Amino acid sequence: MKRIGVVGCGLMGAGIAEVCARAGLDVVVAESHPAAVESGSERLRTSLARAQRKGRIPDAEAALRRIRVTDAIDELSDREIVIEAIVEDENEKVALFRQLDKILALPDAIIASNTSAIPIVKLASATTRPEQVLGVHFFNPVPVLPLVELVPSLLTAGETTSRAHEFVRGALGKRPILCKDRAGFVVNSLLIPFILAAVRMLESGFATRDDIDSGLVHGAAHPQGPLALADLIGLDTTKAIADSLYEEFKEPLYASPPLLVRMVDAGLLGRKNGQGFYSYR
């Protein structure tokens, strides 16, 4: 697959567009309005310039030229695969999948979702081609982390999973793993309860923020501690994934502790808006 579409040019969408362009693929990114096109384009420029500065790519401008950011979703019509990376809202995603199903002209085009929380089968069922829908879940920061979870639903054709595997491994050079269509897939099923446990530890006064994070960085060789990682993921996203895990399994270890809920209520969302467990201002 050479013609790639991405919907959403936020943190994840821009990262996905970037790795596709860096792999030499032609990318169209659809955003919902002109201001989002502008901020998404700026995000791409900044990240690609950083990659060039670090010597990871020879020419940021060449990669940028392979990406077109637009607010006209119809421009996705000729894409071979479209990866959706919009907000984690089931109604919005279902509406988008319905729309993409109508727009995509190629009969074998794949519609993929970067969701970390919404059942793939619900998105697949909104289309007339559920056998060509699957989850393709990247990790943040997308240009840095090699993992991609591939999530076929009960309705996905084996051929679709194989093509997605070839795209992720062969074209992008990432490391795919196969997951079942259940909340959390593999990584978040393990990572989110770990982060929630760290928040509970902080909340109970058992240890300080810095000691919790320092413990995991220096005692377990994690690149960053669980509270810093929650800030990176976004506290709202962390809570949304926890909620979906809790709804699916009803296990107390997936229940968001009050501190996390109150921080989200207060708009303390982590890196994305400057304040979470740490300050980024």
Catalytically annotated residues: 116, 137, 149, 188
User: Nearest to residue 153, comparing CAs of 164, 167, 142, 145?
Assistant: 164
List the one residue from 145, 171, 186, 259 that touches ligand CAA (CB under 6 A).
145
Select the span of 126-134, 160-168, 226-234, 259-267 touching ligand CAA (CB under 6 A). Answer: 226-234
In whole angstroms, what is the distance from residue 232 CA to residue 241 CA? 14
Burial class (CB in 10 A: 0-12, 13-18, 19+), 91: exposed
Per CB under 6 A, 167 contacts ligand CAA? no
Q: Which amino acid is at 73?
A: I
Kindly tell me which of 143 and 270 has the beta carbon lying closer to ligand CAA.
Answer: 143
Kindly tell me which of 194 and 206 has the beta carbon lying closer to ligand CAA.
Answer: 194
Total residues in contact with ligand CAA, by rule CB under 6 A: 19
Contacts of residue 78, Cβ cutoff 8 Å, sequence gap at least 6: 3, 105, 106
Per CB under 6 A, 214 contacts ligand CAA? no
List the one residue from 112, 164, 179, 233 that touches ligand CAA (CB under 6 A).
233
Per CB under 6 A, 143 contacts ligand CAA? yes
What is the per-residue DSSP string for 88-140? Answer: S-HHHHHHHHHHHHHH--STT-EEEE--SSS-HHHHHTTSS-GGGEEEEEE-S
Tell which positions 111-130 bind ligand CAA, by CB under 6 A.
116
Select the span of 48-56, 73-81, 103-111, 251-259 touching ligand CAA (CB under 6 A). Answer: 48-56
Per CB under 6 A, 188 contacts ligand CAA? yes
Kindly tell me which of 141 and 258 has the beta carbon lying closer to ligand CAA.
Answer: 141
Per CB under 6 A, 144 contacts ligand CAA? yes
Per CB under 6 A, 254 contacts ligand CAA? no
Q: Binding string, 54-83, against ligand CAA, x = CB under 6 A?
A: x-x---------------------------
Q: In what order do the strands lie in the sheet with 110-113?
A: 67-70, 26-30, 3-7, 81-84, 110-113, 133-138, 147-152, 175-178
Kindly tell me which of 34 and 274 has the beta carbon lying closer to ligand CAA.
Answer: 274
Burial class (CB in 10 A: 0-12, 13-18, 19+), 249: middle
In whole angstroms, what is the distance from residue 65 CA to residue 276 CA? 35
- Site residues for ligand CAA per CB under 6 A: 47, 50, 54, 56, 116, 139-141, 143-145, 188, 191, 223-224, 229, 232-233, 237
